[in-house]
Amino acid sequence: MNSIYFTAGPTQLYPSYRKHLSNAMDLQFGSINHRSEAFRKIYQHTDEQLRQLLNVPKTHSIFFASSATEIWEKMILNLVETTSYHFVNGAFSQKFYDFSLALHKQAVSVEVEEGNGFEINQIQIPNDIELICTTQNETSTGVQFPVNDFKTIKKNNPNSLLCTDLVSIAPYSEIDYSIVDSSFFSVQKAFGMPPGLGVWIVNEACMNKAENLMQKGLNCGAHNTLLSYSKNYKTFETPSTPNVVAIYILGKIAEEMNKMGVATIRNEIDAKAKLLYSMIGIADFFSIFVRDKKFQSPTVAVFDTSISSIQIINHLKQKEMLVSNGYGKGKDKQIRIANFPSTTLDNMEKLIEEINRIV
């Protein structure tokens, strides 16, 4: 029998994933050339469906990479000559910051304890920052970055580019793309696909910046540069051979999500999140790691456990339900439960029931 994956990603596959995969094989999409009309149609379809789902305006292009990790690197290489600024409150926002340092930039960070969010009004970002890097949903700690805070950041720093890592939250977040210059995610989280594809959304201001850095003679990398993306995007092509099958399936899943309506998806996530966070009242060896409600992630809930988290994880595993352990310092004393569209309210109820049986 199959297990249900409530893991923070890779995770439970989207219910129709396998059907789309099978169709892709029937249509021989694993064999088609990425400079063919067949591929260009796939790219265009996925682009249109993502655009509708995430409300991405015409000012922004949609590119494909292999992972969000790759996009961290390309983002810094193509948009930063000298200075980037990082909101760090967990392992992934920390890695984004580390990437900038590794790429020899003057990276500046504001850091808060894990489990906390940022009080945006108390933070002053230097004027000369070229790129402000935020993580809308810190997958390691279950802390979200309220989308309204992006407005404050952009208002106070109109000359900086603002980017946000949507890895474990797209398509839940309602991003205002007139404020957010660039965002990105990978498909093995809320889109319920196996890993191997990242999506990078980039506006004209970013393209201009990248062009400016190239003209200045800066080393912006060679593979998947913004200029090579942009050039190929004109005909819905990619700089090199991409993960064609995954691009096709992402488009089909986005299409289904659009048919259902993104509001419905958000409502379902909200309903499951409510259940999940309220289970704390019943299971008395659990406490919510993120204290402040406004920072509690709807899609990745993290719980401190007063008994060994491994014991809980193993118990659930026997019942064919998989949850993630904590990350970093929280490894053995936390569990993380993903609340993505791939799992139903029914699934979530079963999980909570089983957790309450552990006592």
Q: Which residue has the tokens 């509690």?
A: 296
Which CB contacts under 8 angstroms, 24+ apart, belong to 25-32? 29/244, 29/245, 29/248, 30/244, 30/245, 32/244
- Going by their DSSP bridges, the two strands 198-203 and 60-65 should be labelled as antiparallel
Q: Which of 23, 66, 152, 258 binds its own copies (CB under 8 A)?
A: 66
**CB 92 to its own copies: min, Å:** 10
**CB 60 to its own copies: min, Å:** 23
Q: Which of 103, 110, 112, 205 binds its own copies (CB under 8 A)?
A: 103
Residue placing its CB nearer to its own copies in the complex, 193 or 276: 193
Which CB contacts under 8 angstroms, 24+ apart, belong to 260-264? 262/53, 262/171
242 lines the binding site for its own copies (CB under 8 A): yes
98 lines the binding site for its own copies (CB under 8 A): yes
Residues 174-213 that bind its own copies (CB under 8 A): 186, 188, 193-197
Residue placing its CB nearer to its own copies in the complex, 146 or 195: 195
Residue placing its CB nearer to its own copies in the complex, 22 or 55: 22
- DSSP annotation of 330 reads G
Residue 242, φ and ψ in degrees, nearest 5: -95, 180
Tell me how far apart the alpha carbons of residues 180 and 341 are, in angstroms, rounded to a whole number: 24
329 lines the binding site for its own copies (CB under 8 A): no
237 lines the binding site for its own copies (CB under 8 A): no
**CB 145 to its own copies: min, Å:** 21
Which CB contacts under 8 angstroms, 24+ apart, belong to 98-104? 99/72, 99/73, 100/76, 100/133, 103/73, 103/76, 103/77
Amino acid at 24: A
25 lines the binding site for its own copies (CB under 8 A): yes
- Going by their DSSP bridges, the two strands 286-288 and 83-88 should be labelled as unpaired
Tell me how far apart the alpha carbons of residues 72 and 81 are, in angstroms, rounded to a whole number: 15
Binding residues with its own copies: total (CB under 8 A): 58
Question: What residues form DSSP beta bridges with 165?
Answer: 135, 184
Q: Which of 53, 131, 244, 276 binds its own copies (CB under 8 A)?
A: 244
Residues 279-318 that bind its own copies (CB under 8 A): none
Got the DSSP string for 89-143?
Answer: -SHHHHHHHHHHHHTT-EEEEEE--TT----GGG----TT-SEEEEESEETTTTE
Q: Tell me which H or E stretch contains 72.
A: helix 68-79
Which one of the spans 205-213, 244-252, 292-300, 302-310 is the region binding its own copies (CB under 8 A)?
244-252
Helix crossing, 226-233 with 204-215: angle to 10°? 120
140 lines the binding site for its own copies (CB under 8 A): no
85 lines the binding site for its own copies (CB under 8 A): no
Which one of the spans 152-160, 173-181, 242-250, 292-300 is the region binding its own copies (CB under 8 A)?
242-250
29 lines the binding site for its own copies (CB under 8 A): yes
Residue placing its CB nearer to its own copies in the complex, 161 or 197: 197
Closest CA to 117 of 88, 86, 85: 88
166 lines the binding site for its own copies (CB under 8 A): no
**CB 25 to its own copies: min, Å:** 6
Binding site for its own copies (CB under 8 A): 2-3, 5, 7, 9-13, 17-18, 21, 25, 28-34, 65-67, 69-70, 72-73, 76, 98-100, 102-104, 186, 188, 193-197, 219-225, 239-246, 322, 324
